[in-house]
A and B are shown apart, each in its own frame.
Chain A
Amino acid sequence: MSTLQRPAAPTRRSPVSWVRRGGLSTLLFMLPLLVIFGVFSWKPIVEAVVMSLQKTNLVSPAAFVGLDNYVRVLSDPQLGQAVLNTVYFALLALLFGYPVPLVVAVLMSEVKRMRGLYSALAYLPVVVPPVVAVLLWKVFYNADPNGPFNTVLSWVGIPPQPWLQSAASAMPSLVLEATWAGAGGTIIIYLAALTAVNPDLYDAAEIDGAGIWKKVRHVTLPQLRPVLLITFILQIIGTAQVFLEPFLFTNGGPANSTTTVLLLIYRYAFQNSLGGNYGAATALSVLLAVFLAGFSLLYFRLTRSWSSE
């Protein structure tokens, strides 16, 4: 694309003056974006909504079925379980993954020497390809008493855990790995925000007699609030779409205890020997998108008053 010279030939669609003023070369520069976004982003988004109202499986021609797909998806007995599992994953991820990066970042921001080493170590798990991370942790989670994690637990006298093998501990195990894999990115974002805190604010707090803890509470955390609010909602949006961990660790098991909404969408579309139920899959993904959009709107409305103080 980039080797194309500015052509001088007028086109039928447009007057010569438009080309003279560079209209055509502008359009040429815009073309890659228009084509790629058109075909691989804008068109599929529209199609998603259309398909959710159709019965399509590539075998028979598409037919409009109104809201049938939505009815089918909402009455699927698996949906309730999948929603509960996804919410459970999101809550656990908040519990594990939200405070840890914040504490680590605040502590790290005070490190004077070898800060680069700290950041690099914290970020290292993010660089590991997620698939490799999951497969590696699957080995760690070996439920045998000789499994890596169980061996470490035995050093401190804790009996072997079933990890992925039991419905009760499977989800927390998934979240633990996801937190390990993701915390580094959040830490770096917080660190960037922390270096942007105006040091005058700390000086001012000290003049008012604030100790270290008070400075953290009344200067650092309020200054981080905008970033904290955004990472919170982004984490919710991200965890609502969790797929890799439940798919590769447990494939939804044991006893459907890790079937998430995205796993359900995947199964509708791609794990059906009779041809995918694309209508149901898109209907559920549209529902998820609408829910997330609504949730985010509500969240920003509720938090606007706090963040613009």
Chain B
Amino acid sequence: MTTTIDFPGAPLAPPGETTADGAPGGDPGLGRRAGRRPRRGGAGQASDRGIVSLADWRKPSIRRTTRAIHATLLVLLVVAGLGPLLWLLKASITPTQDTLRTPMAIFPNGVDWQNLVTAWTTIHIDVQFMNTVIVAAGAWAVQLIVATTGGFALSVLRPRYGRIVYGLVLATLFVPAVVLLVPLYLTILNPPLIGTSLLNTYWAVWLPAGASAFNVVLVKRFFDNLPGEIFEAARMDGAGSFRLFWSVVLPMSRPILGVVSVFAIIAAWKDYLWPMLVLTLPAIQPLSVRLPALQQTIELDVYLAALAISTVIPIALFVVFQRLFLRSAGLGGAIKG
């Protein structure tokens, strides 16, 4: 059983496995984390107890060891997690010769802010930056439309052919992304009905992003767990499918829409191989595609400044929406039960 791996940090087990692992009911509801041990909070919250008991904690030796381990861990995490990024930040405002001769020294010959300006204006990282935003925004919109309308039809409207459609959607989870590479590329060159190549248009990145079975599964399961009585009541009041979708289901789905949005935007920001294949003009390429090409042509300090600028937005998003990110990342585990 194979799964496509284009979902960062959130691999998905086939839904059949959820129950096979002994989670009763296999309920992956987001609102009540996995519904398995409801007595605990989310991954980010401190639990009332863990491996080390209160009795253990009262022993000074254990307390000291635990504290030492935690301090060491923090230092290691700072060095490994933050260190490379701090170095990049430093190098982005350091002259090339300093970075080459004494890479670990902190500003031996002063600071060169000009690097950032050159990267942004002369190298036109600003264009690539906007392109990245456009790619991410479009992919996000397409994924949200497909996942919410499809999830709504499959979960709430439930047509007779729904089971077949859902089965086919699930089946794509077992096909590695690499199998799609060449035929998808040829589809972009010669799409059905449109008659003109989508190569070097953003549609070539936006539309395939929508075919994410992972999103559909997440959203459908969330809708499945919404209380059915509300739908009945809305129907009684004469709400049609569209009203039900827009005024009842969507407003109740903020948590899952947030998760899908995080996945969509991160994936769009990270993707390399596919946009490299279909966006061949430098003027419309996003950062990830353009940066490797810049490597040979521009000076090291400006290049590192460009790398630093490319990292800023994802890091800023992460710092602001940290909870949502970490909850989404932990979701992969929650689904596995």
Contact = CB atoms under 8 A, between A and B. Distances in A.
Interface of A: 1-2, 4-6, 22-23, 25-27, 29-34, 36-37, 39-45, 47-48, 51, 58, 104, 106-113, 115-132, 135-137, 139-140, 142, 144, 146-148, 151-152, 180, 184-186, 188-196, 198-199, 202-203, 206, 212, 215-216, 219-220, 226-227, 230-231, 234, 237-238, 240-241, 243-244, 247-248, 262, 265-266, 269-270, 276, 278, 281-282, 285-286, 288-289, 292-293, 296-297, 300, 304, 307-308
Contact of A188 (B56, B277, B326): B326
A40 B318 contact: no
B138 interface: no
Contact of B318 (A36, A127, A196, A243): A127
B175 A289 contact: yes
A128 B91 CA distance: 16
A124 B145 contact: no
Interface residues of B, number: 130
A30 B103 contact: no
B85 A189 contact: no
A273 to B, nearest CB: 15
A177 to B, nearest CB: 10
A42 B77 contact: no
Interface stretch (B107-115, B118-126, B266-274): B266-274
15 contacts: A30-B154, A40-B184, A44-B187, A117-B74, A118-B74, A122-B81, A124-B318, A125-B84, A136-B84, A194-B50, A196-B33, A196-B334, A202-B50, A285-B176, A296-B1
Contact of B149 (A30, A116, A230): A30
Nearest to A138: B295
A107 B333 contact: no
Given A148-B87, A288-B178, A44 B322 contact: no
Nearest to A37: B211
A228 to B, nearest CB: 10
Contact of B180 (A48, A121, A193): A48
Contacts of B47: 109, 195, 199
Contacts of B266: 127
Given A6-B240, A45-B180, A36 B315 contact: no
Interface in B160-197: 162, 165, 168-169, 172, 174-187, 189, 191-192
A106 B314 CA distance: 27
A31 B210 CA distance: 12
B300 to A, nearest CB: 8
B241 A109 contact: no
A285 B178 contact: yes
A115 B333 contact: no
A119 B333 contact: no
Interface in B1-46: 1-3, 5, 8-11, 13, 17, 20-22, 33-34, 36-37, 40-46
Contacts of B152: 29
A107 B73 contact: yes
A37 to B, nearest CB: 5
Residues of A contacting B: mostly = helix
A47 B51 CA distance: 52
Given A44-B179, A151-B103, 5 more contacts: A116-B44, A127-B325, A139-B300, A189-B330, A196-B334
A226 B21 contact: yes
Interface in B257-297: 266, 269-270, 272-273, 277, 287-289, 291-292, 295
Contacts of B230: none
A305 B169 CA distance: 29
In the A-B complex, the 10 residue pairs with the smallest Cβ-Cβ separation, listed nearest first, are: A185-B9, A33-B150, A192-B330, A44-B183, A189-B333, A47-B183, A29-B153, A41-B211, A121-B77, A36-B210
Contacts of B277: 270
A188 B81 contact: no
Interface string B191-234: 11000000000000001101101001000000000000000000
B62 interface: yes
A26 B241 contact: yes
B337 interface: yes
Contacts of B317: 127
B307 interface: yes
Contacts of B69: 107
Nearest to A144: B100
Nearest to B69: A107
Contact of A262 (B8, B178, B330): B178
Contacts of A202: 49-51, 53
B329 interface: yes
A266 B40 CA distance: 46
Nearest to A139: B304
Nearest to B241: A25
A174 to B, nearest CB: 15
B333 to A, nearest CB: 4
B307 to A, nearest CB: 5
A266 B177 CA distance: 13
Interface in B222-259: 240-242, 245-246
Contacts of A5: 242
A235 B165 CA distance: 29
Contacts of B41: 195
Contacts of A281: 181-182
A196 B28 CA distance: 13
Contacts of B10: 185
Contacts of A122: 77, 81
B241 A6 contact: yes
